[in-house]
Amino acid sequence: MDAPLRLADHDLAALVPDWIDWAEAAKRLGVSVGKVRTLIREHHLAAAVPNPGEKGAGQRIPADFIVDGEPVKGLSGLLTVLHDGGYDDRECIAWLYLDADLPGRPIDALKENRGSEAKRRAQAMAF
């Protein structure tokens, strides 16, 4: 029997439909690229290399993470919970785009202002 895929082993390029680079994220947020770096470091956003085997590939941010010029509501708290549980950005992104027994994916719950259930499941998973 095959072991289930670890979050880190999921193909992010296949899970996430649209990626943006840090410059585009900065433009959408109305901030500098340096501020985007800070937002990632402080877990307001998450970034990963979608195709690690791709030569010269850099970190990108799922486009869904920015809505109406702001990080999607509830994303920061959810990322903090997952990071506190030992998950890295790549694993956080995979979890957000997988169906985690919610009605839909956690990223959809956040975008539809139903983030409390996603956060509760993240807390249970992280501890």
pLDDT digits (tens, 9 = 90+) for 49-108: 998 777 767 899 999 999 999 999 999 999 999 999 899 999 999 999 987 666 789 999
DSSP code for 1:
-
Structure-token pair, residue 124: 């249970």
DSSP 43-89: TSS--B-S-TTSTT---BEEGGGEETTEEPTTHHHHHHHHHHTT--H
pTM of the model: 0.90
H/E run at residue 116: helix 115-126
